[in-house]
Amino acid sequence: MRILFAILAIACLAGCAQQPPPPAETVRVAAYNAFLNRPVQGGLIADLETPDNIQAQKVAEIIQRVAPDILLLSEFDYDADGAALQLFQENYLEVSQNGAEPAVYPYTYIAPSNTGIASGHDLDRDGVVSTDPGSREYGGDAFGYGAFPGQYAFALLSKYPIDTDNVRTFQQFLWKDMPGALLPDDPDTPAPADWYSAAALDVFRLSSKSHWDAPVIVGDARIHVLASHPTPPSFDGEEDRNGKRNHDEIRLLADYIAGADYLYDDAGLRGGLAAGERFVIMGDLNADPNDAGAVPGAIDQLLSSPFVAAAPFPKSAGGAAQAALQGGANAAHRGDPAEDTADFSDDPETGVGNLHLDYVLFSNAGLRDGASGVFWPGPDDEHYDLVGPGFPVESSDHRLVWRDLEIIP
């Protein structure tokens, strides 16, 4: 990494405009849906208490080989004490995996997730209001799908200080408070936007997990890490309640970077991000630009934003190779398979194939694109065993996405 240094001011001669700018510091940022979720509360802690969980070893080795400075881990079960994250760091990240350099992150941030929190309403309209985390029906009536509070949450790890005093979270922002929200409609009634009852909408939180603005201090620069994990636009019916929620969870990000004044965070502070701030949008956004079931234009809300820098998507050789080898649903895809970040079922009748779901996007202000990639080794690569052929899942069904960003003073 190049180190940001100060230069003495000197009197400019006529040709000083042609002098190169001082080097900017480069920071590597990464988003990884690590699939470190477990079906029962406490299961992840139990798996990480010893250093011999094979999946966690492979996840850790992937992180060590990419060596990001700032890392967002999705599908990492939350516990209030942070025990799971501490165990993952001590027993896996900070221990060399197959000769890779240990990954040490002195700064971390976790917060509660809407997943697995009972809403008290029949959100999936199966006729049962489930408040028992042990029941089969429970997840469908939680604010975000989950078998217990905190399943499928996310965590932020950083080699640079996280300004925890100024983190903003939007876990409790209500969907109905978004102007023009795409509230789902019951197709069997004439009334509009009536899938959820008025009582349910009075408490229904937009974020299926949470939305964070976590400032990270890199030298003299402040980078706002905008973290989220919108719900998959599937597992519903004609009303498309998950697809519409996914769209509006992504819209929250787009409106936030535009400074929307309708937004309020969990501390009651209103408004979006101040103009001109550096930011990185990171996470599994569950919206492919070209394929699968997202509401049309969902991810374009960010990709076409005037506040998001235009930059090529990170790519891998392995994504292209697997799409060709697996065929099936992949054959009908329109997107570049080298940009895929997730490996799902390829069954042409029931599967969606491999998709581009995970993103590291960044602001026009104060940041410049450098190298980037998706950690997806091809079948002939020495590290192919870390991802494998798709099924069984070796590490995760998603791939780590990274970018090197230069900080422009």
What's the pLDDT at 124?
93
11 confidence band (pLDDT: 50, 70, 90): very low
pLDDT, residue 136, reads 77
| The predicted structure's pLDDT at residue 14 | 33
- In sequence order, the β-bridge partners of residue 228 are 211
Q: Inform me whether the pLDDT recorded for 8 exceeds 60.
A: no
pLDDT band at 150 (very low <50, low <70, confident <90, very high): very high
Give the residue-averaged pLDDT of 359-373. Answer: 97
DSSP state letter for 168: E
Residues 296-305 have pLDDT tens digits of 999 999 999 9
Residue 52 CA to residue 381 CA, distance in Å, equals: 24
CB distance 406 to 350 below 8 Å: no
Return the percentage of the chain with pLDDT > 70, whole number. Answer: 94
* Model confidence pLDDT, tens digit, residues 206-249: 999 999 999 999 999 999 999 999 999 999 999 999 999 999 99
Of 343 and 10, the structure prediction assigns the larger pLDDT to: 343
**Can you give the pLDDT at residue 15?**
34
Domain at 14-115+150-407, CATH class: alpha beta
* Backbone torsions φ then ψ of 235, nearest 5 degrees: 60, 40
Q: Is residue 4 pLDDT above 80, yes or no?
A: no
Quote the pLDDT of residue 20.
55
pLDDT score at 147: 95
Per-residue pLDDT at 379 exceeds 60? yes
pLDDT of residue 23: 53
What's the rounded mean pLDDT across residues 13-18?
Answer: 36
Judge contact between 173 and 255, C-beta under 8 A.
no
Report residue 158: phi and psi, to 5°: -150, 145
How confident is the model at residue 143, as a pLDDT? 97
- The rounded mean pLDDT for the chain is 93
pLDDT reading at 173 higher than 50: yes
Please report the pLDDT score of residue 7 as a whole number: 32
- Is residue 378 predicted with pLDDT exceeding 80? yes
Nearest to 256 by CA among 229, 283, 224, 286: 224
**Residue 10 above 70 pLDDT?**
no
- Quote the pLDDT of residue 134: 74
pLDDT of residue 6: 35
pLDDT single digits (tens) 115-137: 999 999 999 999 989 888 877 78
For 78-107, what is each residue's pLDDT tens digit?
Answer: 999 999 999 999 999 999 999 999 999 999
Q: In the beta sheet, which residues pair with residue 363?
A: 308
- Domain-by-domain residue ranges, the chain? 14-115+150-407
pLDDT digit string (tens) for 315-334? 999 999 999 999 999 999 99
Residue 101, classified by CB atoms within 10 Å of its CB into exposed (0-12), middle (13-18) or buried (19+), is: exposed
Any idea which of 6-20, 197-211, 255-269 has the lowest mean pLDDT? 6-20
Distance of CA 53 to the CA centre of its chain: 24
Asked if 107 contacts 218 with a C-beta cutoff of 8 angstroms, the reply is no
pLDDT for 13: 32
Residue 17's pLDDT is: 40
Residue located via tokens 């905190």: 150
